[in-house]
Amino acid sequence: MENNKKDPNSPATQDEKVISPAPSPVEKPAVAKKGNTPNSSATDKKTKSAQNNDTQMNNQRRKAKASSWWIRLGVLLSLVIAIAAIAACYWIYLQLDKQDSDQVQLEQTITEQAKQNQSLKYEVQQVEMTSNKRFSTLEQQQLNDTKAYAKLAELQQSNKLLQERVNVIAQRSPNHWMASEAEYLVRMAGRKLWLENDPQTAMGLLQSADERISAMKDPALTVLRKALADDINKVKSLKTTDITNTIFDLDTVINGLTLLPLNRVDENFQENSDTQPMTDSIDDWQQNLARTWHDLTDGFVTIRKRTTDLEPLLSPEQQWYLVENIRNKLLQAQLSLYRFDQVNYQQSIALADKWLQQYFDLTDTKTKETVEALDKLARVKVEKITLNKFQASPLLQQLVTYGEIMPAEELAQ
């Protein structure tokens, strides 16, 4: 009995509780037959004690089984909690990773948006600059339009005044058209005289204007005819140079410079006329030999005398420069004619004539003609026109404008 009683808290008992086998079936018949044996009381006691022990052991087993299920349940709960924690951690990790990727994508979106904003800002600046330029252009165009409108209004006013003047002229007699024609002829005469230096044509135009005034047969125009007569007499008295013909003469001299021969030394000396030709006869061999020897000894050294000065021969380059310098002086003379510069004209002609006589052959016919032409051109007097206005011009303007010649007192007012 003492051996059957064990400490329930001992490790061995705990092991037995866990590993204890199920009650043996042999014991049950023994329990059922407890009244047949002589020692039934003792047996019963033993049986009861055994049953008590079994009951305690069963209780202990039950307690052990109950504690084992709680441990298993705790382990299971721990595993579930661990798995849940792991799942939660993994979910949190996925959420954090997603959040990081979302944050990176958001940063990229923000960067792209910033770039788009920068581009949009640049486009806005470009549009603003373009708008400013357009505004400036529109303002300038508006200013030009304003000026154009002002000019147009001025032109319309001038056109209106001109139309009124035309209407007034149209109501006049046909003589006023002849006055306008005479005023135009006098104006053309001034251009011929002062721009083209052509007094002959100017005088003819003034005479034509006088004929127009005379055809009007208006006694009030006597003053105008007298002014025209004075202008015609002044043009006749002008002693002007014929610039055009003088220019043509200078062109002729310039074109003939390249044909003039230079002054060279005469190397073609006259041979001795006493020399007799050799004969073809064999019998005259002695005379032919004597003549050959005589020609050889006499012509070996020849001395000739020249009393004139010898000028060194000019090289081809120097000849070209000489001709070009003479041509340049003659062109300067032409320019002086256009400028009515008498001094430079005379100096240019004199220098060209000096070079011709110094370097060219004066015995040649062309050289003589060129020198004579230059002497003639040197005697030309370049006289400037002193007449600078016509007396009839203001009177004709009054006649065309007002239809009559205004008195001097009214013009002064």
**CB–CB of 71/64 below 8 Å?**
no
* Minimum mean pLDDT range among 199-208, 213-222, 230-239, 380-389: 380-389
Q: What is the pLDDT of residue 137?
A: 87
Residue 302 has pLDDT above 70, yes or no: no
Give residue 31's pLDDT band: very low, low, confident or very high (50, 70, 90): very low
Residue 405 has pLDDT above 80, yes or no: no
Can you read off the two tokens belonging to residue 52? Answer: 């008590």
Whole-model pTM: value is 0.39
Q: What is the pLDDT of residue 330?
A: 93
Q: List pLDDT tens digits, range 324-340.
A: 999 999 999 988 888 77
Q: List pLDDT tens digits, range 311-326.
A: 556 677 788 888 899 9
Q: List pLDDT tens digits, range 32-61.
A: 444 444 455 556 666 777 677 777 777 666
The DSSP secondary-structure symbol of 219 reads G
Q: What is the pLDDT of residue 142?
A: 86
- How far apart are the C-alpha atoms of 81 and 93, rounded to whole Å? 18
Mean pLDDT, residues 70-82 taken together:
86
User: What is the gyration radius of the CA atoms in the chain, in angstroms?
Assistant: 73
Mean pLDDT, residues 162-166 taken together:
77
18 to 3, 55, 409: CA distances (angstroms): 19, 15, 160
Percent pLDDT > 90 in the chain is: 11
Q: Look over the chain and give the mean of its residue pLDDT values, rounded to a whole number.
A: 76
- How far apart are the C-alpha atoms of 299 and 289, rounded to whole Å? 15
- How far apart are the C-alpha atoms of 187 and 206, rounded to whole Å? 9
Mean pLDDT, residues 84-110 taken together:
89
Q: List pLDDT tens digits, range 125-155.
A: 888 888 888 888 888 888 888 888 888 888 8
- How far apart are the C-alpha atoms of 171 and 165, rounded to whole Å? 10
Give residue 247's pLDDT band: very low, low, confident or very high (50, 70, 90): confident
Q: List pLDDT tens digits, range 260-269.
A: 888 765 544 4
